Chain A
Amino acid sequence: MLEDIPVIICGFPSPAEDYEEHQLDFNSYLGTGKPSVYALRASGLSMIGAGILPDDILIVDRAIAPFHRAIVVACIDDEFTLKRLLLDGQAVLHAENGSYPDMLFGNLQELVIFGVVTGIVRKIL
């Protein structure tokens, strides 16, 4: 019908048009559209020294192989736990909070790692 016909504006084109930028896209910034990326919610205080607070949303990528000093979601005693992974001869799960002891493992193979944390999201209102 007539109203479906596209409209051409005959005036002077907007001088700002060439300077248009993309909208902020937090999915692409955080990688949350990738099939290997999951969002989990943090609880507890063991990673407070790394700036991770209770109720923070953790962005976790399972495509990244665990590496020295990565913050990882590990499976310990049938539960997920968030710790910094240290690979220095042996594998250590290190809490960023002095009141939690390190957990020591012979090597990385003795650990089940769910994924590597790539970001945190926190709303304050």
Chain B
Amino acid sequence: MIGLCDCNSFYASCERLFRPDLYHSPIAVLSNNDGVVVALNREAKDLGFSRGDVYAQVRDSMERKGVSVFSSNYALYQNLSDRVMSTLSSLCPSIEQYSIDEALKASATFRASVKLFPASGKTAPDDMRVELPALWTEPERYMAVAVILYKGIQKLLDLADLVVVEPFFRPQIFDEVEFFHEVSS
């Protein structure tokens, strides 16, 4: 069994942690040198902004709509990412982190060696989501960073442009996530 754990609007969630005035506000985070928008929380997405927007082109509109805009603070994101990964590691025995806000969960019996490369910014479809086991709300309690779990290794691999370099890897065995409750749809 295997699953992918993804943090919701990770950079935006980080910026909000110590800012109670922004707990329900739209937030955008910019790339280095404030070039483009690299992260948005749900409230900002609902206003029509997207990842990849050129900041110079959306600056006025963001200001008008009351979006709080942050230059990226990677020291903060890395600190909180370490906290999330350490919390997830305490919840399940085998985790492979492959980007700042994504981790791969595998069971103790999962022996194949999988080499993972960062996702290309695609979002997994909702039908791959699985209900979060009770304890997995700890990242939200500890870091105010909510996580989503996805199942279905082959789909996840396609989605994330992951490259598997292990001849003994047999994805069909791991295509079920018994550990997680299915989401009834």
- What residues make up the interface of A, taking CB atoms closer than 8 Å to B? 35-36, 40, 62-63, 75, 78-80, 112, 114
Contacts and interface: CB of A to CB of B under 8 A. Distances in A.
Interface residues of B, number: 13
B152 to A, nearest CB: 28
Contacts of A78: 20-21
A63 B23 contact: no
Given A35-B84, A35-B86, A35-B87, A75 B23 contact: yes
B141 interface: yes
B83 A35 contact: yes
Interface in B134-148: 138, 141-143
A33 B114 CA distance: 30
A63 B142 CA distance: 6
A2 B82 CA distance: 40
B143 A35 contact: yes
Contacts of B21: 78-79
Nearest to A40: B18
A105 to B, nearest CB: 16
Nearest to A37: B142
A41 to B, nearest CB: 11
16 contacts: A35-B82, A35-B83, A35-B87, A35-B142, A36-B138, A36-B141, A36-B142, A40-B18, A62-B142, A62-B143, A63-B138, A63-B141, A75-B23, A80-B18, A112-B23, A114-B20
Contacts of B84: 35
Contacts of A36: 83, 87, 138, 141-143
A79 B19 CA distance: 8
Nearest to B19: A78
Nearest to A74: B20
A112 B142 CA distance: 14
Nearest to A76: B20
